[in-house]
Structure 1
Amino acid sequence: MSQQGAALQNYNNELVKCIEELCSKRDELYKQILLEEEEKQKLQNDIRILTEKMAKVNESLAKKMATKNEFDRTIAETEAAYMKILESSQTLLNVLKRESHNLKEKPQSHRTTTS
């Protein structure tokens, strides 16, 4: 019976040792879980901060794009008006040259008829 008692004691010792090893592994795993949960919280906070920054940048970009579009529209309208002014100036110059030429010829043709 003492042999059976010794065997039982050995089994018990091994069982306790196995349970202690399992507890140790569990504790180590729990530490890793806590570290990863901390990292997860940090990443979630970083994501929140970056999302807020992204929203601000998108808002700024939208305003700047709208302003740029206004510049483009104003420039296009101004250039179109300027082209009309150039065309009108060219037309006016042509009319002025023609009238000037006609005025120069009138006295000459008048002189030739009176001479």
Structure 2
Amino acid sequence: MTQQGAALQSYNNELVKCIEDLCAKRDELNKQILQEEEEKSKLQNDIRILTEKLARVNESLARKMASRNEFDKTIAETEAAYMKILESSQTLLNVLKREAGSLGKATELKGNFPH
């Protein structure tokens, strides 16, 4: 019976050691889980902050692009109006030169006749 008691004691010691090893492995795994949960929480917070920042940047970009489009429209309209003014000025200058030439000829003709 002593031999059986010694074997039983040996098995018991081995079982206790296995249980302690399993508990140590579980504790290490639990520590890793807690660390990863903390990292996950930080990453989710970073994502939230970056998502909010991205939304603000997108809104700002949309406003600035709309303003730029208004500038482009105003510039195009102003350039078109300026081109019309230039064309009108050229036409006016041509008419003025033609009239001045006609007046000059009329003055020359009047100067050739005796009074």
| Structure 1 residue ranges, 4+ long, deviating more than 6 angstroms after superposition | none
Identity of aligned residues (%): 76
Cα offset, 1:8, TM superposition: 1.4
Cα offset, 1:107, TM superposition: 2.3
Counterpart residue type for residue 57 of structure 1:
V
> Normalising to structure 2: TM-score of the pair?
0.93
Q: Which runs of 5+ in 2 are unaligned?
A: none
How many residue pairs align between the two structures?
114
Aligned counterparts of 2:109 and 2:81: Cα–Cα separation in 1: 41
Aligned pairs for 1:31-110 (under 5 A) are: 31-110=31-110
Structure 2 residue 8 is the aligned partner of structure 1 residue 8: yes
Aligned counterparts of 1:57 and 1:101: Cα–Cα separation in 2: 64
> Normalising to structure 1: TM-score of the pair?
0.93
Q: Which runs of 5+ in 1 are unaligned?
A: none
Partner-residue secondary structure (3-state), 1:52? helix
Partner-residue secondary structure (3-state), 1:7? helix
Aligned counterparts of 1:61 and 1:107: Cα–Cα separation in 2: 67
RMSD (Å) for aligned C-alpha atoms: 1.2
